[in-house]
Structure 1
Amino acid sequence: MASTATAASAAQGYTYSRPSGLDEGLLGLSTSGGTTSTGPQAHPYFFSGLLTQAAPAAAALTALADVARTRYHQPRPTSFRDPVVTCSGDRLRMESFSACCGVYARLDVLEGALDGEVHERGTTNVDVNGPLREALARVGGSDPLHLAVGADELAVTTLDGAVVEKKVPLPERWLRGFAEVQVITAGFDPRAELAAPEAVRFLRGLPKGSRGELWAVPAGRSLRVASRAAAGAVCLPGPERLRTMLPLLRFAKALRAYGPSVRAGSGPVASVWELELPGMRYVLSLSPEVRRGFSGEGAVLEALASDEAAGDADLLGALLSFEPRVEPDLLAERAGIGAARARAALTQLGTSGKVGFDTAEAAFFHRELPYDPSRVAALNPRLRSARTLVDEGAVRFATPDVAVVTSNGRERQVRFDGGRASCTCPWWADHGGGRGPCKHVLAARAVRESEGAAAAVLEGEGR
């Protein structure tokens, strides 16, 4: 798979052996180039067998495609963007982002809904097109559906020129969003669980046309919608963004919500909404505001700026093999590092798209997004600016906990208080660190850590 980038977007090229389609009970998902447990492959062949829950799977895949072609702050359809699919042996994960980068969607087809043979583990794109979406909308009844993710070599070579090439505009903020969302949601906890009847009432009762910030507040066995935050509440920014769940409600078994801890008066935050279906989960992660994509949240910046975590991430990344659930303690033991370093390294791997995070299992999972992971750091302007400030010698420490950073002829003061930091710049005044550190904090932290490391080396040599 080849890609070329401009300042705003990349034209990502996908080559498929044939279009995906649904014909006579066979759902054939064509794969593009991807990474597998045995190395890169042009058209990996992951799974063949039965989808034992055909109707909910077809409806959920349609919902996933609808998210991928929606720009929620300017509601109008866009072109299809092909989802990323990972085969982890006991499950298939299908991931997508909205065109505006404010909604991350994932469909986990679990072992209970699959009956067949796993041919390979790995990650790829699968073709999603208009005719396939129309065919999926017609799937009903209780009969299982045959599923093939990819095709064997013989099938591919006998298609007589049926090669399909697609060019899909892939905004850089979409790539950054993939890196941000798993880092953000890794800090979430379960906040609410609704049984099917309550889930149906709650989702169908959400205000229509509301694109502002609301809150879901616990109310007995259900949730009620409020205009302000309260202890235990889950942020519901733009309830319209949950509408792709409505066609799935006839299959729903439960609805779960995840988010950070909030209190009365808290500002908008991201949240995760998980609809449990027979043998699968449909998950939507919502950015804090409808007009605010995940790409600008800055959650990855601290991890990207850490040299130690980057080195550990390279070590741990080589040990991963598309596990559905990554065990940090086991990885730490295999790598010969401490558990805390292993968890920091997993966060770093999340910034490069090598792991995602599953809130239902409170665990990372391995996958390899089909783009160059080194681009993620380059796509973050604050990190680029911070590195420039360091290279220019713009950071000096007045005391061990106070740095003065000169930027554009103005001095900004960065103050450290344990692991926390603050800055006197306008960005910090506006966001208070709620959207990640500013460039001045990043630069000061980098200098502080490098000077601390140098001092440790000198101390060791003095002994």
Structure 2
Amino acid sequence: MAITATAGPAQTYSYRRPSGLSGGLLGLSTSGGTTAAGPQAHPYFFSGLLTQAAPAAAALLGLADVAQTRYHRPMPTAFRDPVVTCNGDRLRLESFSACGGVYARLDVLQQALDGEVHERGTTNVDVNGPLREALARVGGADPLHLAVGADELAVTTLDGAVVEKKVPLPDRWLRGFAELQVITAGFDLRAELAKAEAVRFLRGLPQAARGTMWAVPAGRGLRLTSRPAPGAVCLSGPDRLRTMLPLLRFARALRVYGPAASPGDASPLSSAWELELPGMRYVLTLSPEPSRGFSGEGAVLDALATDQAADDAEIVGALLDFEPRVEPDLLADRAGLDLVRVRAALTQLGTAGRVGYDTAEAAFFHRELPYAPERVTALNPRLRDARALADGGHVRFTEPGVAVVTTGGGERRVRFAGDTQEASCTCPWWVEYRGGRGPCKHVLAARMVRDRRAEAAR
């Protein structure tokens, strides 16, 4: 696993030496991780040239800045080292903001790497203060030697001191990673801006938040409005995109992804903003509002509540091999499952941190985050309460599409839309959010009972 849990709210990162930049070598030290060959204490992923040194250094700094920032109610926070995955033809580095509302990822693609892949897998890399200062001084067109993990070159040029960091890793950070894959899998490309228009739009964003805004197509660019329109993408807290500004000198294009916005509904939505760099992509995914972290969105609840998907996820998960693109059709053939079940299994694996989602390629990718699915389940009180209701006999169907769920607060009526999973409820949660923050515990409990009855009838 990429991070080793300690007895308490902190996590321990253990490195053989600090990461550093010295003599033209960028050496990134690795913590414990999962590889294609199994668990390793300090995996060694890549050695060679980073052919686009300046944009890579600037993007890595942006990733580190996100990890150290609370965009909502700013306050000092401990730094969390990025997660890095080597998928063979690329390196992916991921981080989450301290407030849980911004996800950042840097994809260093094959055209920016010239070297040898030693292993595929996932770990954490040390990013410390001196390294950040050194990265800020990287410029020019000269390539950098890059070592991700220990090799002879890194050992001879970097400080040999063992490093241990104990960093608080809040539950919402883990839940946010789980939620993100489910949410972004529903995104589509909404806009693509060439460099000039991308620079104009990003530099023209207001410095201070002005509530929920919408970026709508305007000629070759985007403009901000207060109401959604066809093709609009939600942008709450535009200051959360500020780590893109130092990268604009390297930018080639800006792409924006999001769910379909309804002109009659101004409810805030998540969005993803991808800056294309030479041989790289820098992506920021924003929660619907600065005050809302991804951990509370409830998108994973349906996937976690499905017994069949959990069983299928074990089969599909055993077939993953740190692919840069997970091909559902190929997995279906290898697993002996139909495509619908494979997609449901991938969603389940996403909630366990075992796959991420790449909006640029509209595909899942394999990586292993440092927690088990049962921990995510335990961190979702709605799911825990729903299971207690279903297992305790508190759900009864009065007719095929209608269930009555008895709780301490009274009876709640759940109504399904035909044979689909869509349902409504009479509880205050449903009345307030209308499914916008995931299903309530009553809907989840009714689905569990209905699915179990259907399985027993087969």
1:128-207 alignment runs, 5 A limit: 128-152=127-151, 162-207=161-206
On the 8 A contact 1:312/1:345 being kept in 2, the answer is yes
Q: Deviations over 1:78-124 (max 9, x none)?
A: 22110000001100000000000000000000001000000000000
Find the aligned partners of 2:178 and 2:202 in 1 and give their Cα distance.
29
On the 8 A contact 2:27/2:154 being kept in 1, the answer is no
1:52-63 alignment runs, 5 A limit: 52-63=51-62
Find the aligned partners of 1:206 and 1:354 in 2 and give their Cα distance.
35
Counterpart in 1 of 2:22?
Answer: 23
Find the aligned partners of 2:67 and 2:251 in 1 and give their Cα distance.
22
Counterpart in 1 of 2:397?
Answer: 397
On the 8 A contact 2:394/2:405 being kept in 1, the answer is yes
1:269-284 alignment runs, 5 A limit: 269-284=269-284
Q: How far has the Cα of 1:157 moved from its partner?
A: 11
Counterpart in 2 of 1:449?
Answer: 451
- Structure 1 counterpart SS, 2:166: strand
On the 8 A contact 1:191/1:232 being kept in 2, the answer is yes
Find the aligned partners of 1:154 and 1:233 in 2 and give their Cα distance.
49
1:297-376 alignment runs, 5 A limit: 297-376=297-376
Counterpart amino acid of residue 439 in structure 1: K
Q: How far has the Cα of 1:4 moved from its partner?
A: 3.3
Q: Which segment is superposed worse, 157-166 or 365-374?
A: 157-166
Q: How far has the Cα of 1:159 moved from its partner?
A: 8.8
- Structure 1 counterpart SS, 2:6: strand
On the 8 A contact 1:211/1:240 being kept in 2, the answer is no
Q: How far has the Cα of 1:391 moved from its partner?
A: 2.1
Find the aligned partners of 1:208 and 1:95 in 2 and give their Cα distance.
25
Counterpart in 2 of 1:210?
Answer: 209
Find the aligned partners of 1:97 and 1:306 in 2 and give their Cα distance.
27
On the 8 A contact 1:85/1:124 being kept in 2, the answer is yes
On the 8 A contact 2:22/2:158 being kept in 1, the answer is no
Find the aligned partners of 1:54 and 1:47 in 2 and give their Cα distance.
15
- Structure 2 counterpart SS, 1:323: coil
Counterpart in 2 of 1:410?
Answer: 410
On the 8 A contact 1:182/1:350 being kept in 2, the answer is yes
On the 8 A contact 1:20/1:30 being kept in 2, the answer is yes
Counterpart in 2 of 1:430?
Answer: 432
Find the aligned partners of 2:373 and 2:11 in 1 and give their Cα distance.
14
On the 8 A contact 1:14/1:167 being kept in 2, the answer is yes
On the 8 A contact 1:382/1:439 being kept in 2, the answer is yes
On the 8 A contact 1:17/1:159 being kept in 2, the answer is no
Find the aligned partners of 2:161 and 2:238 in 1 and give their Cα distance.
42
Give 5+ residue unaligned stretches, structure 2. Answer: none
Find the aligned partners of 1:151 and 1:93 in 2 and give their Cα distance.
18
- Structure 1 counterpart SS, 2:176: helix
- Structure 1 residues 139 and 211 mapped into 2: Cα distance closer, same or farther (>3 Å)? farther
On the 8 A contact 2:147/2:154 being kept in 1, the answer is no
On the 8 A contact 2:216/2:223 being kept in 1, the answer is yes
Q: Which segment is superposed worse, 418-427 or 190-199?
A: 418-427
Q: Which segment is superposed worse, 216-225 or 387-396?
A: 387-396
Q: How far has the Cα of 1:211 moved from its partner?
A: 5.0
- Structure 1 residues 348 and 118 mapped into 2: Cα distance closer, same or farther (>3 Å)? same
Superposition TM-score, scaled by structure 1 size = 0.95
Find the aligned partners of 1:60 and 1:154 in 2 and give their Cα distance.
24
Q: How far has the Cα of 1:371 moved from its partner?
A: 2.4
Superposition TM-score, scaled by structure 2 size = 0.96
Counterpart amino acid of residue 443 in structure 1: A
Counterpart in 2 of 1:2?
Answer: 4
Counterpart amino acid of residue 217 in structure 1: V
Find the aligned partners of 1:161 and 1:216 in 2 and give their Cα distance.
49
Q: How far has the Cα of 1:2 moved from its partner?
A: 2.8
On the 8 A contact 1:212/1:290 being kept in 2, the answer is no
Counterpart amino acid of residue 374 in structure 1: E
Find the aligned partners of 2:436 and 2:158 in 1 and give their Cα distance.
53
Counterpart in 1 of 2:294?
Answer: 294
Find the aligned partners of 2:6 and 2:423 in 1 and give their Cα distance.
37
Counterpart in 2 of 1:459?
Answer: none
Find the aligned partners of 1:344 and 1:353 in 2 and give their Cα distance.
15
Find the aligned partners of 2:442 and 2:341 in 1 and give their Cα distance.
25
Q: How far has the Cα of 1:156 moved from its partner?
A: 6.3
- Structure 1 residues 161 and 133 mapped into 2: Cα distance closer, same or farther (>3 Å)? closer
On the 8 A contact 2:383/2:444 being kept in 1, the answer is yes
Find the aligned partners of 2:429 and 2:241 in 1 and give their Cα distance.
31
Q: How far has the Cα of 1:62 moved from its partner?
A: 0.1
Find the aligned partners of 1:201 and 1:155 in 2 and give their Cα distance.
41
Q: Deviations over 1:29-77 (max 9, x none)?
A: 0000000000000000000011100000000000000000000011344
Q: How far has the Cα of 1:154 moved from its partner?
A: 9.8
Counterpart in 2 of 1:102?
Answer: 101
Give 5+ residue unaligned stretches, structure 1. Answer: 457-463
- Structure 2 counterpart SS, 1:365: strand
Where has structure 1 moved over 3 Å in runs of 4 or more? 152-161
Counterpart amino acid of residue 270 in structure 2: A
Q: Deviations over 1:179-222 (max 9, x none)?
A: 00011000110000000000000000011111521100100110
- Structure 2 counterpart SS, 1:48: strand
Counterpart amino acid of residue 73 in structure 2: Q
How many matched pairs? 453
